[in-house]
Amino acid sequence: MKIKLLMAGLLGFVSATTFAQKGELKTAQTEYEKYESLRGTPLAKTSLTTAKESIDKAAANEKTALLPQTYALKGAIYSTYANLDTVATTSLPLFTTAEEALKKAKELDTKGENKQIIETAYLNLAQYQLTKGVAEYGNGKYDLAYKSFDYYRTILPEDTNAIYYTGLSAANSKNYPAAISNYNKLLTMKFSKVQTIYLDLSSVYLLTADTASALKTVSEGVTKFPSNSELRKREIEISLQTGKEKEVLDKIQTALASDPKNKTLYYYAGLTYSQTAEAIIKEQAKTKDVAAKSKLQATKVENYNKAAEMYKKALEIDPNYFEANLNLGYVIINPAIDEYNAANKLPANKQKEYDAAIAKAKLQFEAAKPYLQKAKELNPKSIDALTNLRTYYLGVKDDANAAKLKAEIDALPKQ
């Protein structure tokens, strides 16, 4: 009889111990839920402290240590502590413990009974890596920031900010394949900065010398966002680099056929001709043959003239279009500068030729003057407008006004 009583007492003790440990697990759950509801209040920290004490006891006892709920709660509680700890040396061990616990929780929770708390805990890990990545990026540690943001992205694979930060840090750390992959993913999603992504992705392709993909990307961007000036400029630049200026002009002309009152399209047609002319300047510098140089000069002037026609059409629609006024003045005055410089290189015995060249240059300078003045009037703080108008005054030898503009330029804030 005594033996039976002893056995009964022993079994009762075992049951009570098991119940006590499960009680710790329940306390951990209750206190963590209380913390979540009190988050941001003074009482929240007390609940979190109690939750951690209880989960540590439950995790230390063989009866509850291997339960999916124990691992899930441990992951949630420790990941919360990791986010609250702003010191990397102490927060990282908390993060690691949480990560390990959650891996085990996912493995053991075959019935999905702890799915919600596991997901919440993983969001904590994502937040930790996001915060860490932002700090690393701000300190110029782009390779580390990429790893942190990529961790964040793996937890939230459809989060556009996660993908964007990962792509951005990858691009800055020169991990171009990762940048390309993430930016291309964003182009398939609804993302507020998608226009910027077209531009950034084309830049990354250019850095990898993939001009075909760069042009394809930026052209898609122009098709979707035809009013985006940066995309238009980039398309023109890459088209010129790849010898496809005719293609981009054809696109603009096609667009003008259906929208003949679009001043911006005329402006970009002018810009294409302008930049084609500018590209010829580089060829001229490398060319030694006099006849070849002369031919290039004629082609350059022809493109400047075509650019002027387009800019004038833009101004017919909007006389106060700053960029069109600025560029029109520039493409008119540029050949005048060439004439002026060529005249000054003539020998002293070529006075007649000199006088004729200077007279021709002066006419060209005067033709540019109204547009140069209008550009300055529209934007008196534009260094380009001030510099171009000063060039006019120097060309017509009006030193007083040239000096005034030099003073205005010098007074501009340094960039």
- Residues 140-174: tens digit of each pLDDT: 999 999 999 999 999 999 999 999 999 999 999 99
Residue 192: which of 215, 216, 163, 213 has the closest Cα?
163
Q: pLDDT digits over 85-137, tens only? A: 889 899 999 999 999 999 999 999 999 999 999 999 999 999 999 999 999 99
Q: In angstroms, rounded to a whole number, what is the distance separating the alpha carbons of residues 363 and 380?
A: 25
**Which of 256, 248, 262, 278 shows the shortest CA–CA distance to 321?**
262
Helix ranges restricted to H, 288-321: 290-317
CB atoms < 10 A from the CB of 208, how many? 14
Percent of the chain with pLDDT over 90: 56
C-alpha closest to that of 276 among 306, 311, 252: 306
Q: Angle formed by the axes of helices 194-207 and 160-172, to 10°?
A: 30
Kindly state the tokens that stand for 287.
């060319």
Residue-level pLDDT at 229: 81
Of 178, 242, 173, 246, which Cα lies nearest the Cα of 210? 242
Examine the pLDDT at 238 and tell me if it is beyond 90.
Answer: no
pLDDT band, very low/low/confident/very high, at 1 (cuts 50, 70, 90): very low
Which residues, 6+ apart, have CB-to-CB distance to 270 below 8 Å?
306, 307, 308, 309, 310, 311, 314, 324, 327, 328, 331
Closest to 215 (Cα-Cα) out of 194, 196, 236, 193? 236
Instruction: Answer yes or no: is pLDDT of 46 > 50.
Output: yes
CA dihedral (341, 345, 351, 357) positive or negative: negative
CA-CA-CA-CA torsion sign (365, 370, 376, 382):
negative
| Number of residues written out for the chain | 415
- Cβ 378 vs Cβ 325: under 8 Å: yes
Can you tell me the distance from the alpha carbon of 279 to that of 276, in angstroms, rounded to the nearest whole number? 5
- Provide the 10 A C-beta neighbour count for residue 374: 22
Question: How far is residue 74's CA from residue 108's CA, in Å, rounded to a whole number?
Answer: 14
pLDDT of residue 220: 95
**Cα–Cα distance measured from residue 167 to residue 176, given in angstroms and rounded to the nearest whole number:** 9
Residue 398 token pair = 């009006």
Are the C-beta atoms of 352 and 291 separated by less than 8 Å? no
Which distant-in-sequence residues (6+ apart) come within 8 Å of 228 by Cβ?
Answer: 195, 221, 222
DSSP class per residue in 92-145? HHHHHHHHHHHHHHHHH-TT-TTHHHHHHHHHHHHHHHHHHHHHHHHTT-HHHH
Give the C-alpha separation, 286 to 284, whole Å. Answer: 5
The predicted pLDDT at position 22 comes to 67
Question: What integer pLDDT is reported at residue 21 of this predicted model?
Answer: 54
CA distance 5 to 36: 46
Mean pLDDT of 276-291: 85
pLDDT for 7 beyond 50 = no
CB 333 within 8 A of CB 311: no
